Amino acid sequence: MADLAEASARVAADLETRFDRINVAYKTVNNTALETAIFIPKTVSSSTAAATAPVLVHFHGGALITGAAPDLLFLGDWVRDFAHTAGAIFLSPAYRLAPETPAVEILDDIADFWTWLHAALPGTIRAQFPHLSPDLNRIAAIGESAGGYLALQSALQFSGPARGLRAVIAQYPGIFPDLPAFNPRPDPPDAALDAVVDGYVRGLEPGAMRVATAWPGLADLAVAALQNGRLRGLLGEDPEGRLTLRYALARAEEVPPAVWVIQGEQDTLVAKEAADQLVDMLKRERPRAVVRYTVREGDHAFDAVSSLQDEWLAEGVEFIKGHWLK
């Protein structure tokens, strides 16, 4: 735990050194504010000349169960460097978390965030930095695991609210429930992992709501759900199939935003086969989509130690910039 605290402190110090920060509520649910953190590179905010800046939205991971906005342990070095070197206004919105909140309502939060961004972000920025305007025609989204899932949902299902979204980086995002390789139940299941999930569910209080549980909070629940085939049940009812890739693709533009999927070959939490199926389905249903798929050796979150100087990452970032910043 000391190592995690040290890592969190290092990320927090880097953000404070290189970015100015604004926190603002984009939505209120039952008197609870859902906030987005807004980071602006000091190289951009310190100027006095009128300027526009592209926008990068980060959705945190955590199986839709855990995580915070931003979650310092999920916000990898290369992601922060990517935002900074692009001179981007960098947002990290909170959203309600399962199982207290059904995942379909999490999607409502994401749609509402995009609506807020277009209506209120320019004024929010100008109030602090009068010279600066966000370029709402040059938006990219990025997210790891469940965050990658939400970034893809933004690009496909929410093409209206998320207008201006040009490119998505989705890291190990294969948690769409209709993917055959999504969250399989092992045979036999692990009784100890089932006990973790069942114990948490039994303790749920009616009306409870969470909007932030910073990693490693509830890591045991998230890992148990992912490794023992229990995530589907924790996501709640979905009678319309809104959580699925098929539903999202049915509402996607013929040419959706460019997509870069990153996946670890040996991922023990979100199977590579699920990412394979996601990419295949996206290409089949939207043949004009521009999709880059990178598979690297490693487990879940393998890229946490990666750098923008790594060749594979540098090439992918240039691919995204070519669609985002053109």
DSSP 8-class letter at 304: G
Q: Supply the mean pLDDT for the chain.
A: 97
**Average pLDDT over every residue of 121-128:** 98
**Average pLDDT over every residue of 79-103:** 98
Q: Are 27 and 113 in contact (CB under 8 A)?
A: yes
Instruction: Give dist(CA 216, CA 179) in Å, integer.
Output: 27
Task: Tell me whether the omega of the peptide bond preceding residue 177 falls within 30 degrees of 0, making it cis.
Answer: no
In this prediction, residue 2 carries a pLDDT of: 66
**Structural domain for 265, as ranges:** 2-324
In this prediction, residue 285 carries a pLDDT of: 98
Nearest-5° angle of CA 177, CA 305, CA 103? 20
Task: Output 45-51 pairs: Cβ under 8 A, ≥24 positions apart.
Answer: 45/20, 45/129, 45/132, 47/131, 47/132, 48/131, 49/131, 50/131, 50/133, 51/131, 51/132, 51/133
Q: Looking up tokens 């691919």, which residue turns up?
A: 319
Q: What three-state secondary structure class fits 270?
A: coil
Instruction: Give dist(CA 92, CA 142) in Å, integer.
Output: 10
Q: Are 28 and 34 in contact (CB under 8 A)?
A: yes
Instruction: Give dist(CA 80, CA 88) in Å, integer.
Output: 10
Count of residues making up the chain? 326
| Token output for 257 | 């935003």
177-230 pLDDT per residue, tens:
999 999 999 999 999 999 999 999 999 999 999 999 999 999 999 999 999 999
**Average pLDDT over every residue of 62-87:** 97
**Average pLDDT over every residue of 308-318:** 98
Which amino acid appears at position 219 of this protein? A
| Token output for 297 | 């050796």
User: Domain count of the chain?
Assistant: 1
**Average pLDDT over every residue of 301-311:** 97
φ, ψ (nearest 5 deg) of residue 158: -110, 40
Q: What three-state secondary structure class fits 43?
A: helix
* pLDDT tier, 48 (very low <50, low <70, confident <90, very high otherwise): confident
Q: Is the dihedral of CA 255, 261, 265, 269 positive or negative?
A: negative
Alpha-carbon separation of residue 30 from 27, 34, 207, 208 (angstroms): 10, 10, 10, 10
In this prediction, residue 326 carries a pLDDT of: 87
Q: What is the CATH number of the domain that holds 24?
A: 3.40.50.1820
Residue 102 has pLDDT above 90, yes or no: yes
Instruction: Give dist(CA 307, CA 302) in Å, integer.
Output: 12
In this prediction, residue 1 carries a pLDDT of: 61
